[in-house]
Structure 1
Amino acid sequence: MDPVTLWGQVIEGFQVTNKNLHRTIARAYDLDAAEAEALLRLIRSPQRRMSMAELARQVAFSTGGFTKVADRLTKRGLVQRAPCPEDRRVVYLELTAEGRTTAGKVRDLVAETMTATFVDVLGPERAVVVAQAMADLHRSGLDRA
């Protein structure tokens, strides 16, 4: 199979799985993809907080675009902004108590959904191979950036 077709199949499989995941999250918690991803990254981070700039980079947003995401999460009481004591240019986004609860529920829903739509479909061994291959591609792209 040629590389274009191979890559097309990877993208199509990812898109349908990701669309299903984000539709499930939206129905359950009224969060869009960027909001859910921000909560998931925050709950996995040390101290449940990250700088706004780093979080924007990780969710592939401009800092200006991510500010709107942060504003929506703040308005819902899921996160709060906190200044960095060492550098006033840096602003952290951190989970509130309600945000930790919601992020934990979203994480559980992601685990349940991905088990049903990814692990159970491919089988555990193939799912691990796909995940490892994607991690290799991610690292490769970081090396070239």
Structure 2
Amino acid sequence: MSHDLADVDKSTGIELTEVLAAFTRLRRENDLLVAAIARDHGLHAPDFRAVAFVRTTPDLTPRGLAEYLALSLSATTAVIDRLVASGYVLRTPNPEDGRSVRLEVTQEGADAVEDALEIYTAAFNISVPADRREDVAATFIDIADALAEVAVARTASARA
């Protein structure tokens, strides 16, 4: 499947390459911000992302975190060990089966995520007027869904 990146939207005059460049810039600025927030809290960016996911995902298991981080279970265990040692995450017994554990964020971890949320809230308040937020959220969801769809199709065609 080939796409013409120079395809111009006739209604706006914007080429797809401009949209992709804007998306790339957004990703880069986000990566830099996450790294800075993580550093402020004595963490590396991947560890901070893990803390944020633990904070927003009830009943999370190490396997669930591994899937989110796209890491092996052993690599994720190393991340969890660091986060537990640094006081950002707790391992708690799974009440449904006494052998496994669930992950919970500590108050320190919650505070770090709250710090990030304040920064993102400020940025979105500056850049997205209230009357456009629903459209922007829908666009983000559409892009995420399309990326997931393309990734699944790519994986399927690679296996064929």
- Report if the CA contact (8 A) 2:66-2:76 is conserved: yes
2:40 corresponds in structure 1 to: 28
Gaps of 5+ in 2: 7-15, 156-160
Aligned length: 138
Shift of 1:142: 7.4
TM-aligned CA distance change 1:26 to 1:78, over 3 Å: closer
Gaps of 5+ in 1: none
1:109 corresponds in structure 2 to: 119
CA distance in 2, matches of 1:100, 1:141: 34
CA distance in 2, matches of 1:21, 1:130: 22
TM-aligned CA distance change 1:129 to 1:98, over 3 Å: closer
- Greater share of residues in helix: 1
1:38 equivalent among 25, 31, 50: 50
Q: What are the within-5 Å matches in structure 2 for residues 1-145 of structure 1? A: 2-3=4-5, 6=17, 9=21, 12-46=24-58, 49-112=59-122, 114-115=123-124, 120=127, 123-124=128-129, 125=132, 127-128=136-137, 130-141=139-150, 144=153
Deviates more, 1:2-11 or 1:72-81: 2-11
CA distance in 2, matches of 1:22, 1:98: 17
Percentage identity across paired residues of the two chains: 26
Shift of 1:10: 6.0
Structure 1 length as normaliser, TM-score?
Answer: 0.71
- Larger RCO (alpha carbons 8 Å, 6+ apart): 1
Structure 2 length as normaliser, TM-score?
Answer: 0.66
TM-aligned CA distance change 1:138 to 1:8, over 3 Å: closer
Shift of 1:57: 0.7
Structure showing greater radius of gyration is 2
RMSD: 3.2
3-state SS, counterpart of residue 50 of structure 1? coil
- Match of 2:83, as an amino acid? L
Deviates more, 1:132-141 or 1:89-98: 132-141
Shift of 1:34: 1.5
